[in-house]
Chain A
Amino acid sequence: MVFLLTGIEARGFIFGPPIALAIGAKFVPLRKPKKLPGEVISEEYTLEYGSDRLEMHVGAVNKGERALVVDDLIATGGTLCAAMNLLERAGAEIVECACLIELPELKGRDRLHGKPLHVLVEYH
């Protein structure tokens, strides 16, 4: 039984909440810097040029909670990896990552801390 579902800004917010509602989970948005009010934890990740940061609310996740990570697409896996780091730092137990689309040649699947990835379509 999954307790929480995180979605990555902004396209993860389109798919994540309907799934969370349907399965009885809480929804936790993971956002670009300075968007979430109150106390946050932050994880940096590298882009092709430079870096970016993903933030999550302190207190949104309780230790030991089972979590899903949802995004529209996985490419290199950098963003998903940052999302998983945030969840693990907060003590969540990640069950699976779920994306609509995978670009398999970019091997993002290998960066998911050994956790399973569920995708609906692959794009080659």
Chain B
Amino acid sequence: MFAAENGLKGDPRLEAISQAIRVVPHFPKKGIMFQDITTLLLDHKAFQDTVDIFVDRYRNMDISVVAGIEARGFMFGPSIALAIGAKFVPLRKPKKLPGKVICEEYELEYGTDCLEMQVDAVQPGDRALIVDDLVATGGTLSAAIRLLGKRMGAQVVECGCVVGLPEVKGQCRLNGKPVYILVEPREIDNCRHADISSEFLNVQCSG
């Protein structure tokens, strides 16, 4: 579900967040209009608003754990966790987490990858929020939902993402869990920001 259709219609913060995200054409490969949230992180007000919108939504939902997906989920998850009084759990690529881990496989365009979590991070009965910067096919988020829910017995309350690709629009649930999204991707750039040079914003299309 999109924030604008769920209580935040016309909220100017959403427009500013959308405009703060830079679009990089043909990254990592031709045809993909990459939604680059690093420009959002450079805009203190828009970054703070992003966190605040999630915090306002989740602070009264009794969330005990926020799980962030490596690596861009780490940029948003901890701030939300701290503000709502939840623990933060990183979900990582294979072989990064020390100690005993569980692993959930998910599909890539070609082949598969694996998402890992430490076994003692989450207890049955924990109420979980999963955070990532962007949801596209939902493959990674689905793996995260399986890790926390099916494998560890936590209750996954919701997934929160800054950007949601059109594939998830209208499709409110992933693995039966709701996905809350702040903005849709933009096509190409009229990203504006006070503190960033125009060269940085206008990424040349290398065709």
Contact = CB atoms under 8 A, between A and B. Distances in A.
Interface of A: 9-11, 13-15, 17-18, 20-21, 24-29, 31, 34-39, 57-60, 62
A11 B68 CA distance: 12
Interface in B47-83: 47-48, 51, 68, 70-72, 74-76, 78-79, 82
B79 A21 contact: yes
B203 A17 contact: no
B38 A60 contact: yes
A58 B195 CA distance: 13
A35 B71 CA distance: 10
13 contacts: A10-B96, A21-B44, A21-B48, A27-B42, A31-B71, A37-B27, A39-B203, A59-B196, A59-B197, A59-B199, A59-B201, A60-B200, A62-B195
Contacts of A57: 38, 200
Main secondary structure of the interface of B (DSSP, over half): mixed
B34 interface: yes
Given A10-B70, A10-B74, A14-B74, A28 B42 contact: yes
Contact of B79 (A17, A28, A59): A17
B79 A13 contact: no
Contacts, number: 87
Contacts of B74: 10-11, 13-14
B127 interface: no
A26 B45 CA distance: 9
Given A10-B70, A26-B47, A38-B24, 18 more contacts: A10-B90, A10-B96, A11-B74, A13-B72, A13-B74, A14-B90, A15-B78, A17-B76, A20-B41, A21-B79, A25-B44, A26-B44, A28-B38, A29-B38, A37-B36, A58-B200, A60-B42, A60-B196
B71 A26 contact: no
Contacts of B22: 38
A73 to B, nearest CB: 12
Given A25-B44, A29-B41, A17 B75 contact: yes
B88 interface: yes
Contacts of A26: 41-44, 47, 195
A3 B47 CA distance: 15
A38 B37 CA distance: 12
Nearest to B48: A21
A35 B42 CA distance: 17
Contacts of A38: 22, 24, 27, 36, 200, 203
